[in-house]
Amino acid sequence: METLQPKLIHTILIANRGEIASRIIRTCRRLGIRSIAVFSDADRNWPYVKDADAAVYIGESTPAKSYLNQDKIIEAALGMGADAIHPGYGFLAENASFARRCAEEGIVFIGPNPASIAAMGSKSAARELMIQHQVPVVPGYQGEDQSEETLRAEATRIGYPVLLKAVAGGGGKGMRIANSEAELSGAIHAAQSEAERAFGDGGLILEKYIASGRHIEFQIFGDRHGNIIHLNERECTIQRRYQKVMEESPSPVLTDELRAKMGLAAVKAAQALSYDNAGTVEFIFDDTTGAFYFLEVNTRLQVEHPVTEAVTGLDLVEMQIESAQGFPLKISQEEVQSNGYALECRLYAEDPENHFLPATGHIYRFEYPELSGLRMENAVQSGTEISTYYDPMIAKIIVHDKDRQLVIRKMRYVLSQMICLGTITNQYFLKKILEHPDFQSGTYNTHFIEEKLLSAETDGEKEVDLPFFAIVACLKRWAKREKSRRLLRSIPSGWRNSFYDFQQEEYQYRGEALSVRYRYLSGVFIFLVGEEEFRVSLISESDSAIEIETDGIRYNATVIQDGADIFNHHPEKGSIRLTVAERFPGKEKTDHAGGYTAPMPSTVVRIPVKEGQKVAKGDVLVVLSSMKMENSITAGEDGTVGEIYASEGASIKAGFVLLEMKK
Ligand code: ADP
Write out pLDDT tens, residues 248-289: 999 999 999 999 999 999 999 999 999 999 999 999 999 999
Asked about 127 being catalytic, the answer comes back as no
Q: Is any ligand 1 atom within 6 A of the Cβ of residue 210?
A: yes
Closest CA to 74 of 45, 105, 96: 105
Helices 305-312, 316-325: inter-axial angle, 10-degree rounding: 90
Position with higher pLDDT, 408 vs 461: 408
CB 248 within 8 A of CB 303: no
Q: Is any ligand 1 atom within 6 A of the Cβ of residue 242?
A: yes
Q: Give the per-residue pLDDT at 463.
A: 65
> Cα separation of 380 and 47, whole Å?
7
Ligand 1 pocket: which of 158, 162, 175 to mutate (most atoms within 8 A of CB): 175
* Nearest atom, ligand 1, residue 173 CA: 3
Q: Is any ligand 1 atom within 6 A of the Cβ of residue 414?
A: no
Write out pLDDT tens, residues 437-447: 999 999 999 99
Q: Give the per-residue pLDDT at 583.
A: 61
Helices 70-79, 96-104: inter-axial angle, 10-degree rounding: 30
Model confidence at 457, pLDDT cuts 50, 70, 90, reads low
> Mean pLDDT over residues 531-542, rounded?
94
Q: How far apart are the first and last CA of the chain?
A: 69
* Nearest atom, ligand 1, residue 174 CA: 3
Instruction: Decide: helix, strand or coil at residue 120.
Output: coil
Position with higher pLDDT, 265 vs 629: 265
> Mean pLDDT over residues 372-395, rounded?
96
Closest CA to 290 of 258, 264, 268, 242: 258
- The DSSP-derived string for 270-301 is HHHTT--SEEEEEEEEETTT--EEEEEEE-S-
Write out pLDDT tens, residues 109-164: 999 999 999 999 999 999 999 999 999 999 999 999 999 999 999 999 999 999 99
How many Å lie between the centroid of ligand 1 and the Cα of residue 135? 17
Distance of CA 35 to the CA centre of its chain: 25
Q: Look up residue 524 and give its amino acid.
A: V
What's the DSSP call for residue 137?
Answer: B
Distance of CA 390 to the CA centre of its chain: 10
Model confidence at 492, pLDDT cuts 50, 70, 90, reads very low
Q: How many residues does the chain have?
A: 663
The residues, ordered by sequence, that sit 6+ positions from 378 with a Cβ below 8 Å of its Cβ are 19, 22, 47, 366, 394, 395, 396
**Cis omega before residue 571 (within 30°)?**
no
Q: In what order do the strands lie in the sheet with 657-662?
A: 595-597, 657-662, 639-644, 614-615
Write out pLDDT tens, residues 168-204: 988 888 899 999 999 999 999 999 999 999 899 999 9
How many Å lie between the centroid of ligand 1 and the Cα of residue 161? 14
pLDDT for residue 584 is more than 80: no
Q: Is any ligand 1 atom within 6 A of the Cβ of residue 169?
A: yes
pLDDT for residue 652 is more than 60: yes
> Cα separation of 266 and 283, whole Å?
9
Q: Give the per-residue pLDDT at 649.
A: 83
| E strands in 326-373 | 341-348, 350-351, 357-358, 361-362, 365-367
> Cα separation of 59 and 331, whole Å?
41
> Cα separation of 218 and 308, whole Å?
9
CB 454 within 8 A of CB 356: no
> Cα separation of 85 and 102, whole Å?
8
> What pTM, to 2 d.p., does this model score?
0.88
Q: Look up residue 602 and give its amino acid.
A: S
Q: Is any ligand 1 atom within 6 A of the Cβ of residue 162?
A: no
Q: Is any ligand 1 atom within 6 A of the Cβ of residue 390?
A: no
Write out pLDDT tens, residues 55-80: 999 999 999 999 999 999 999 999 99
The residues, ordered by sequence, that sit 6+ positions from 638 with a Cβ below 8 Å of its Cβ are 614, 615, 616, 617
- The answer to whether the Cα torsion of 127, 128, 132, 138 is positive or negative is positive
pLDDT for residue 593 is more than 60: no
> Mean pLDDT over residues 334-339, rounded?
97
Q: Give the per-residue pLDDT at 461.
A: 55
Max Cα–Cα distance, the chain, nearest Å: 87
How many Å lie between the centroid of ligand 1 and the Cα of residue 163? 9
Instruction: Decide: helix, strand or coil at residue 208.
Output: strand
Q: Is any ligand 1 atom within 6 A of the Cβ of residue 191?
A: no
Pairing of strands 553-562, 565-570: antiparallel
> Cα separation of 325 and 311, whole Å?
25
At residue 603, φ and ψ (nearest 5 deg) are -110, 140
What's the DSSP call for residue 203?
Answer: -
CB 386 within 8 A of CB 423: yes
Count CA atoms closer than 13 A to 301's CA, side-chain side.
Answer: 25
How many Å lie between the centroid of ligand 1 and the Cα of residue 295? 7
Q: Give the per-residue pLDDT at 650.
A: 82
Strand partners, 419: 367
> Cα separation of 328 and 275, whole Å?
13
> Cα separation of 439 and 252, whole Å?
10
Q: Look up residue 180 and give its amino acid.
A: S
Q: Give the per-residue pLDDT at 456.
A: 65
The residues, ordered by sequence, that sit 6+ positions from 494 with a Cβ below 8 Å of its Cβ are none
Q: Look up residue 655 and give its amino acid.
A: G
Ligand 1 pocket: which of 242, 285, 450 to mutate (most atoms within 8 A of CB): 242
* Nearest atom, ligand 1, residue 282 CA: 7
Ligand 1 pocket: which of 167, 215, 294 to mutate (most atoms within 8 A of CB): 215
Q: Give the per-residue pLDDT at 499.
A: 67
Q: Look up residue 256 and give its amino acid.
A: D
How many Å lie between the centroid of ligand 1 and the Cα of residue 242? 6
Write out pLDDT tens, residues 521-532: 888 999 999 889
Q: Give the per-residue pLDDT at 498.
A: 62
pLDDT for residue 493 is more than 60: no
> Cα separation of 501 and 512, whole Å?
26
Count CA atoms closer than 13 A to 451's CA, side-chain side.
Answer: 10
Nearest CA to ligand 1 atom 26: 210
Model confidence at 4, pLDDT cuts 50, 70, 90, reads low
Q: What is the mean pLDDT of the chain?
A: 92
- Indicate the range of 220-234, 378-392, 413-427, 461-475 predicted with least confidence: 461-475
> Cα separation of 546 and 444, whole Å?
40
Closest CA to 562 of 288, 406, 390, 365: 365
Closest CA to 129 of 299, 300, 294, 298: 294
How many Å lie between the centroid of ligand 1 and the Cα of residue 171? 9
- Catalytic pick from 23, 34, 240, 300? 300
Q: Is any ligand 1 atom within 6 A of the Cβ of residue 214?
A: no
> Cα separation of 305 and 312, whole Å?
11
Q: Look up residue 480 and give its amino acid.
A: K
Nearest CA to ligand 1 atom 14: 215
Q: Give the per-residue pLDDT at 588.
A: 40
Q: Is any ligand 1 atom within 6 A of the Cβ of residue 241?
A: no
Q: Give the per-residue pLDDT at 458.
A: 59
Q: Is any ligand 1 atom within 6 A of the Cβ of residue 137?
A: no
Strand partners, 194: none
Q: Is any ligand 1 atom within 6 A of the Cβ of residue 247?
A: no
Residue 140: its H or E element: strand 140-141
Radius of gyration of the chain (CA): 27
* CB burial string 513-543: b at 16+ within 10 A, e below: ebebebebeeeebebbbeeeebebebeebee
* Nearest atom, ligand 1, residue 293 CA: 23
